[in-house]
Amino acid sequence: MDTRVDGKVALVTGASRGIGEAVAEGFLASGARGVVITGRKQENLDGAVRRLGAGDRLLAIAGRADSEEDADRVVRATIEHFGSCDILVNNAGTNAAPGNLVDVDLSAVDKTWSVNQRGPLVMTQAVWRNAMKVTGGVICNTASVGGLKPGPFIGAYNVSKAALIFMTKQLAMELAPTVRVNAVAPAVVKTRLSEILWKADEAAAAAAHPLNMLGEPQDVANAIVFLCSDQARWITGVTLPVDGGVANASSDVLPV
């Protein structure tokens, strides 16, 4: 099955590295007419542009995903540059509040929930107002298997992703039939954001997954590109685990 997004314009948040950069690469390889990557720091985005080497099909615009002003500016710039905004991937995320919820600093919780929960809603509102209300489109959110099961170390992050999973269902209901809204729920992927979960003992972290391996950014990107393609045109409101089997394991608690 050759997944294609020919002629579409995609906007990907949190795309200066890791999963977001892999998603942008996947869209470009699948025929996207234009891809806009956004993140907090322009220099990091410029590095991704150099690595992706997509010429005039790729545009990088700095902005905070949880800022209404930045979201509106980025969406408008996407439309002005490429003529449309057909796909939104809410990939930006943070884990500023590691530790148990009862002990964690509440200001760090505020930051985590602002980026992981508020950010996707802010971006969705901006793309709805400026484009998809008229043209329709597809939205995909990067959630986490931690939003499906509790686990150690990253309680505030897990709660934020559980909220994002429910938000995905809510928006899928509200925006149908013209906009599809889905999510992916990765387990431990080898990115800088998740290093707290795997870098100290990669073999042990891999062994906690039934498939005995950690995910790579491309594994998640492949699922996102599929959900954003017309091959998934009858799928909405779904959160797809991309997790090496963790969500299907017998325990109700994450092993890592």
Q: Is 6 left (phi over 0), alpha (psi -120 to 50) or beta?
A: beta
Contact 174, 130 (CB under 8 A): no
For 135, residues 6+ apart whose C-beta sits below 8 A from its C-beta are: 84, 86
Q: Tell me how far apart the alpha carbons of residues 168 and 48 are, in angstroms, rounded to a whole number.
A: 28
Backbone φ and ψ for 66, nearest 5 degrees, come out as: -100, 10
- The catalytic site residues sit at 157
The answer to whether the beta carbons of residues 10 and 86 sit under 8 Å apart is: yes
- Using the CB atoms, write b or e for 45-70: b if 16+ within 10 Å: beebbeebebeeebbbbbbbbbbeeb
The C-alpha atoms of residue 148 and residue 41 are separated, in whole angstroms, by 31
Write down the residue that tokens 């991309």 correspond to: 242
Quote the tokens at residue 115. 């980026």
The closest of 91, 72, 119 to 14, measured between CA atoms, is 91
Contact 242, 184 (CB under 8 A): yes
Q: Note whether 143 and 183 are within 8 A (CB).
A: yes
Asked whether 186 and 140 are in contact (CB, 8 A), the reply is no
